[in-house]
Amino acid sequence: GAVVSQHPSWVICKSGTSVKIECRSLDFQATTMFWYRQFPKQSLMLMATSNEGSKATYEQGVEKDKFLINHASLTLSTLTVTSAHPEDSSFYICSAKEYGGNQPQHFGDGTRLSIL
Amino acid sequence: AQKITQTQPGMFVQEKEAVTLDCTYDTSDPSYGLFWYKQPSSGEMIFLIYQGSYDQQNATEGRYSLNFQKARKSANLVISASQLGDSAMYFCAMREALYGGATNKLIFGTGTLLAVQP
């Protein structure tokens, strides 16, 4: 089946640092990738949608300058949390899908980010 | 109005029994897809099953089946012969405008936490 690799799985860092999270589709070409944030015991909150080679589309309320998304190839997207603060601590999870409306999103294993 | 509604925040089921997780949806688009995902405590989201709005038959994948009732706008997930490893959070999701102009976004429900008891 389709595999999406997300790295790192767990990050602890100091307030003010920037953190980059990678999302790779290992065995398929991901025309679209998504970045979600999930708070404990809640559903996934879509942050942004990115299509390969174009700028990401951010959901309302998500700061573009805070959460930088790059989707430079059909197999790699990155999310950079810039100048992270404790309120940015969360579970971040990416997904990727092939072209086609009936294709499912395949998710990475997520990244637990803790800002101290 | 909520696009995806999962009314059961949590459920218990005995091992080896079947369980139904409810999902209702709201859309005016004739072309849509419904997805179910499983999220264990470790956090990963696992795709389980898909049902397209034009599909004539209910989707099945192993022990998972989808009870699709289009007129009632419901897409309940049925898990047969529950196993301890089925204990997880289950999310129902919908994608609208499947063909032509698709946004590709999934709209998720709030999830149902299933606990399988031995």
What digits encode the pLDDT tens for the residues B84-102? 999 999 999 999 877 665 5
Query: How near does any CA of chain A get to the CA of B53, in Å?
Result: 10
**What does the pLDDT look like over A66-107, one tens digit per residue?**
999 998 888 999 999 999 999 999 999 999 988 877 888 999
A25 touches chain B (CB under 8 A): no
Nearest CA in chain A to B10: A41
B98 with B50: CB under 8 angstroms? Answer: no
- What does the block give as tokens for B6? 């999962």
Q: What's the Cα-to-Cα distance from A30 to each of A21, A73, A107, B43, B81, rounded to whole Å?
A: 17, 9, 12, 21, 34
The verdict on a CB contact (< 8 Å) between B33 and A34 is no
Residues B46, B38, B97, CA angle at the centre, nearest 5°?
75
**What does the pLDDT look like over A22-36, one tens digit per residue?**
999 999 998 899 999
**What does the pLDDT look like over B4-53, one tens digit per residue?**
999 999 999 999 999 999 999 999 989 999 999 999 999 999 999 999 99
The verdict on a CB contact (< 8 Å) between A43 and B99 is no
Report the distance separating Cα B51 and Cα B67, nearest Å. 9
The verdict on a CB contact (< 8 Å) between A101 and B43 is no
Which phi and psi angles does A84 have, rounded to 5°? -65, 145
Q: Mean pLDDT for chain A? A: 92
Q: Which residues of B touch A43 (CB under 8 A)?
A: 91, 108-111
Query: How near does any CA of chain A get to the CA of B102, in Å?
Result: 7
